[in-house]
């Protein structure tokens, strides 16, 4: 019996990246042998065991044979006569098909180290095409390693495109699509994930609402990049720099979905695209079974991001209505999330990537002023029932009026690039 460290742990150690989890493959053993040594079997479809101390996963070396459609249509064969090379052959990318023995020797039959050095994502064999989930996995790896200069091999991209054209992606469950997408959104370059999906045709299949934005123009005055699809991924890239919060990143991705509904004869203007996009966000999240808290923020950002761009012109009464609509009294984190998503939108434009976004600080300060007036003090002053809410709103409006008067006082400030305007977007 021989045990090898495989997959991501070997890859990441060779890239001098932190190793967060370890997977092992066991060659020349039977399930009975591992059980006798105290391992706990957890694999249902093939023999996977948990180490009695480390709880790392140990899998018996196996081969896979395609027996049906999709990513579940496989027959696995695990036996003592399956070699390490046979086990590595079934893996997706050469950089994930490197093993390390207990003595530290690297076993690399498919030249994964060479591809690591060349920063290349290349499939191990044509069996890659038997699992449609690998299209998303490669896109995710491209996003994860984009900052290291990795690119997808031409032949691998061609195979991904062929798989997409063949309809294999239709067999992916919503949960698996979202799981890979969620992981991609957590990378430093999540926009690369969607770029790759578009290049191989998968974006139109899995995210048609986003794919439809390509070729939709916006006014060059406010959007020098013009194409709304390009702007969307620029916005996502900025959001990734501003926040590690997946809620913020997904909201930035979906903020302009409504522009895909604008009739071409009305281009390049998109009046009412914010509210129009809310239904598209709802449909996308329902289809992929995206968690409610992510969906809810994305809907709010779609509807209100343009209003945030003009927040300094809003009257106190309107500000309070906005805070009510956002439900920030109960969920104050939403205000920061909305501010960051809107900032990503304003800076996700050619030439505006490093521009300041004073609207964000203005929004934060306005909320601090309003939330500084509490219902407790209103009740303490003797108000009861419906009077409490009415008096609370009156005091908050008064506090905002006083604060806004101070904010609007003439001051000498450096010129900053204008945000996108609602009337022109």
Closest CA to 168 of 286, 96, 94, 73: 73
Chain segment 152-163, per-residue pLDDT in tens: 999 999 999 999
Chain segment 66-100, per-residue pLDDT in tens: 656 555 556 788 889 999 999 999 999 999 999 99
Residues 6+ apart with CB under 8 A from 183: 140
21 labeled binding residue: yes
Place of tokens 């945030």: 308
Q: Which helix or strand (DSSP H or E) is residue 99 part of?
A: strand 99-101
Q: For residue 64, what pLDDT is reported? A: 77
Sort residue 385 into left (φ over 0), alpha (ψ -120 to 50) or beta: left
Lowest mean pLDDT among 31-40, 64-73, 327-336: 64-73
Q: ∠ CA(255), CA(337), CA(356), 5° rounding?
A: 80
360 labeled binding residue: no
The fold of 207-424 is Hypothetical protein af1432 (1.10.3210)
256 labeled binding residue: no
410 CB neighbour count, 10 Å cutoff: 5
Q: Using N-to-C axis directions, what is the helix angle for 190-199 and 154-165, rounded to 10°?
A: 70
Q: For residue 384, what pLDDT is reported? A: 84
Joined tokens for residue 389 = 């809410």
140 labeled binding residue: yes
Percent of the chain with pLDDT over 90: 86
Residue 422 has pLDDT above 70, yes or no: no
Closest CA to 278 of 247, 262, 309, 300: 300
Separation of alpha carbons 282 and 295, rounded Å: 7
Residue 165 has pLDDT above 50, yes or no: yes
- Average pLDDT for 225-250: 98
Chain segment 173-183, per-residue pLDDT in tens: 999 999 999 99
345 labeled binding residue: no
Q: Where are the domains of the chain?
A: 2-116, 207-424
Give the long-range contacts of residues 335-338, CB within 8 A, separation 24 or more.
335/363, 335/364, 335/367, 336/364, 337/243, 337/245, 337/247, 337/248, 337/251, 337/297, 337/301, 338/297, 338/300, 338/301, 338/304, 338/305, 338/308, 338/363
Phi, psi of 280 (to 5 degrees): -70, -40
- Average pLDDT for 184-196: 99
Instruction: For residue 193, name the pLDDT band (cuts at 50, 70, 90).
Output: very high
The fold of 2-116 is Beta Polymerase; domain 2 (3.30.460)
Average pLDDT over the chain, rounded to whole? 93
End-to-end alpha carbon distance in the chain: 65
Joined tokens for residue 217 = 């123009």
Residue 15 has pLDDT above 90, yes or no: yes
């Amino acid at each position: 019996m021989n045990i090898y460290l495989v997959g991501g742990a070997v890859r990441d150690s060779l890239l001098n990246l932190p190793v967060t989890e370890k997977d092992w493959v066991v060659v020349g053993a039977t399930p009975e042998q591992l059980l006798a040594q105290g391992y706990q079997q957890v694999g249902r479809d093939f023999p996977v065991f948990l180490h009695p101390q480390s709880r790392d996963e140990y899998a018996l070396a196996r081969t896979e044979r395609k027996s049906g459609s999709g990513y579940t249509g496989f027959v696995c064969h695990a036996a003592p006569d399956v070699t390490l090379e046979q086990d590595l052959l079934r893996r997706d990318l050469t950089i994930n098909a490197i093993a390390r023995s207990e003595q530290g020797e690297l076993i690399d039959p498919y030249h994964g180290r060479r591809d690591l050095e060349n920063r290349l994502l290349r499939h191990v064999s044509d069996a890659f095409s038997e699992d449609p989930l690998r299209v998303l996995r490669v896109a995710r790896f491209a996003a994860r390693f984009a900052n290291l200069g990795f690119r997808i091999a031409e032949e691998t991209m061609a195979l991904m495109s062929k798989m997409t054209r063949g309809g294999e992606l239709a067999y992916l469950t919503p949960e698996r699509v979202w799981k890979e997408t969620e992981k991609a959104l957590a990378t430093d370059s999540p926009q690369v994930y969607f770029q790759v999906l578009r290049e191989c045709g998968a974006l139109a299949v899995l995210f048609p609402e986003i794919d439809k934005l390509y070729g939709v123009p916006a006014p060059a005055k406010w959007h020098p990049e013009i194409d709304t699809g390009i702007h969307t991924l620029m916005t996502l890239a900025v959001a990734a720099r501003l926040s590690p919060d997946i809620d913020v990143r997904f909201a930035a991705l979906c903020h302009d979905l409504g522009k895909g509904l604008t009739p071409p004869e009305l281009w390049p203007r998109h009046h009412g695209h914010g509210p129009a996009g809310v239904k598209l966000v709802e449909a996308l999240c329902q289809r992929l079974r995206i968690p409610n808290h992510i969906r809810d923020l994305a809907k709010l950002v779609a509807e209100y991001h343009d209003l945030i761009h003009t927040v300094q012109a809003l009257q106190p009464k309107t500000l309070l209505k906005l805070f009510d609509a956002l439900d920030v009294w109960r969920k104050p984190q939403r205000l920061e999330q909305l501010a960051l998503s809107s900032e990503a939108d304003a800076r996700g434009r050619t030439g505006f990537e490093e521009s300041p976004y004073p609207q964000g600080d203005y929004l934060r300060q306005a909320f601090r002023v309003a939330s500084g007036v509490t219902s407790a003090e209103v009740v303490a002053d003797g108000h009861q029932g419906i009077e409490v809410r009415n008096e609370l709103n009156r005091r908050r409006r008064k506090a905002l009026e006083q604060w806004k008067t101070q904010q609007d006082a003439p001051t000498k400030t450096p010129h900053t690039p204008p945000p996108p305007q609602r009337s022109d977007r």
